[in-house]
Amino acid sequence: MLTLPAGLHSRLRERPPAPPRPAPPLPPPAPAPSSSPSPFAFAPRRLRLGLHHPLLEDGDIHRHLYLQGVLTSLAEVAERPKVSEFSCHISGCCQVFDTLEGYEHHYNTLHRNVCSFCKRSFPSGHLLDIHILEWHDSLFQIMAEKQNMYKCLVEGCAEKFKSSKDRKDHLVTVHLYPADFRFDRPKKVQSGPKHVSSPVKQGVGVPMDVSMETSEPFPVDPMEIGPSENMEIPHPAASPGLGVPEKRHYKSRIPSTICFGQGATRGFKGPRKKV
């Protein structure tokens, strides 16, 4: 038990802070000793410590254990309370759900960033904006002939290009995007063959359906095809020589016993005891 003088808590709450008491004056510097140099080397010095300084090690361990422990106590995802089946209330969407979380996710990914012109949905507002500009802005094509209008898809990159292909090349070479990035398909030139055509002619930013037999029709255009079997997907590029991955002491990663998904309600609970 550390004994402290009384009344400290209330002094802490005093506002504003009392003006600094005048400190006793410092002595004039002592005259240099005429005899042999002193073996005492102390000089006050503010310490600046780097990431791996031994003083920090115990605290780092505690941090690591926290990350492991907090996330270990999250519940397994499978046990979601089921409700009686209900369907999405957006007209034209017939998806059915038996958990609220499933519905929430569906709604947030499919019925949020939706183009009001063509009803396609996009993973983000950013991609939606680009889509509207390139597909539904009547001036766009005209202006594109004179200046670079195709914006880079990467947030924070201000580059613009004169064609969709140039933009794609930029995405691949500068931003290391996959060549078949699903949210960058050039706009179809012809107005709509009903059969499954070559993958290249997909609309920009259309969320791809995996081709599968499902009984639920979707609000998305039936021309969109699933990617898996008939797409060219380049193999992940072999990583060039990387050297040994750095072995840090306390890599805090979510341990594999965690499966995610408590959703937005999880608040800070500190290191929790296992239930």
Partner 1 sequence: VLQLLRGVQRGSEDRKSSLGRLRRALQNKETQQKFVRLDGSIRTLIGLFTSSLADMQMEAARCLHELSHSSDPAVAEACLPVTSYLLTYLSGHSVEFTELCLYTLGNLVVESEAVRKQLLPQGIIPVLASCIQSPHEAVLEGLGYVLSQLLQAKEAPTEIVPLVLDSVLPQHMLRLVCSGLKAGTGAAVEFAWCLHYIVCSHTANAVLLSLGALPALTSLLLDMASEIPQDAPEGLELLVCPVLRCLSNLLAEETGCEGQIQDERLLIALFLILQSFFQQHPFIVQECLWLLNNLTADEPFFCSALLSLDLLPALLQLLPCSQMAGVLVLTVLCNVAEKGPAYCQQLHHQPALPLLLPALALPDPEVVGQCLELLHLLFLHCPEAAADFVRQGGHRALEQHQSTPELQERVRALLDMVGQPLGASTFSSCHAALSAFS
Please give the residues from 72 up to 101 whose contact with partner 1 meets the rule CB under 8 A.
77-78, 95, 101
What's the min distance (Å) between Cβ of 235 and partner 1? 9
Question: Which residue, 141 or 214, is less far from partner 1 as judged by CB?
Answer: 214
Q: Which is nearer to partner 1, 59 or 138 (CB)?
A: 59
Quote the Cα angle for 142-134-212, to 5°.
Answer: 145
Select 20 or 92, whichever has its Cβ closest to partner 1.
20
Site for partner 1 in 180-209 (CB under 8 A): 181-183, 207-209
CA 161 to chain centre: 26
Query: What is the C-alpha separation between 93 and 156, in angstroms, rounded?
Result: 34
Kindly tell me the number of DSSP H helices and DSSP E strands found in the chain. 6, 4
Element holding 164 (H helix, E strand): helix 164-173
Sole binder of partner 1 in the list 31, 35, 92, 138 (CB under 8 A): 35
From CA 84, how far away is CA 6, in angstroms rounded? Answer: 61
DSSP summary character for residue 151: E
Among 190, 265, 274, 275, binds partner 1 (CB under 8 A): 265
Residues 38-57 that bind partner 1 (CB under 8 A): 38-51, 54-56
Contact range with partner 1 by CB under 8 A, out of 130-138, 150-158, 162-170, 185-193? 150-158
